[in-house]
Amino acid sequence: MKNQQLNCLWTPDQAFILEQQAFINSEIKKLGPKKLLELADSAARARKLSYSPYSDYPVGAALLTTSAKIYLGTNIERASYSETNHAEETAVTAAILDKAIEKEGRRFIRAMAVAHTGTSASCGRCRQIMAEHADNCLVIMADIKGQINSITSLRLLLPMAFTPTDLGTD
C-alpha cells in the first residue's frame, strides 16, 4: 500500500457507536421490558420446534415487525447439511408468507430475538438476510430459558452493509 493511501483505513468511529447506542436505548425504551422479554421467551419456545439432528444445536427466533406482529422461526437441517435453514431465516420466511412485505413494505423487521446456548450473535448470512428487510433493527440474544443476554443493533453487527440500495433499488 502506498503511503498516501493509509488514510483510507475504515473502522467504526465514535459518532457511529454513539448513534447506535442511542438507537438501541431508544428502541428498548419504546418497546419496554415486557415486549422485549416476550420476544426472548418466544424465541426460546420456538427453539423447541427445531429440527437439528445433525448439529444437535437448536436455535429459536422471534421476529417483531414494524406493525408489532411476532413471527417465530427455528433451524431446520437436512442430511446434505448445506440446505439447512437458520432460525432467523425461517422467521423472515414466515413473515413474508403472511404478507409482511405487502402490508409493511420491504423493511418490515423492527427486532429479532434469537435463543440458543452460548453468547454469540446471528451468523453472517442471517445478518445479511435481516439487512434485506431492515435498515436497522434491534437484535436480542437470549438464552434457552428466554432470559436476555445482550441487546444490540443490526448495524453494529453488520457495518458497511451491502443492501438493495447499493443496487439502485429502494
**Residue 70 CA to its chain's centroid (Å):** 13
- The burial of 112, by beta-carbon neighbours within 10 Å (0-12 exposed, 13-18 middle, 19 or more buried), is given as buried
Pick one of 122, 131, 148, 155: the residue that binds ligand THU (CB under 6 A): 122
**Residue 108 CA to its chain's centroid (Å):** 12
Of 5-13, 29-37, 53-61, 97-105, the segment contacting ligand THU by CB under 6 A is 53-61
Residues sharing a CB contact under 8 Å with residue 125, sequence separation 6 or more, in sequence order = 86, 89
Which CB, 86 or 133, lies closer to ligand THU? 86
Q: Does residue 166 sit in helix, strand or coil? A: helix
Shortest reach from residue 88's CB to ligand THU, in Å = 6
Pick one of 24, 41, 77, 136: the residue that binds ligand THU (CB under 6 A): 77
Q: Is 88 a catalytic residue?
A: yes
Contact residues: ligand THU, CB under 6 A: 52, 55, 57, 59, 75, 77, 84, 86-88, 122-123, 126
Active site residues: 88
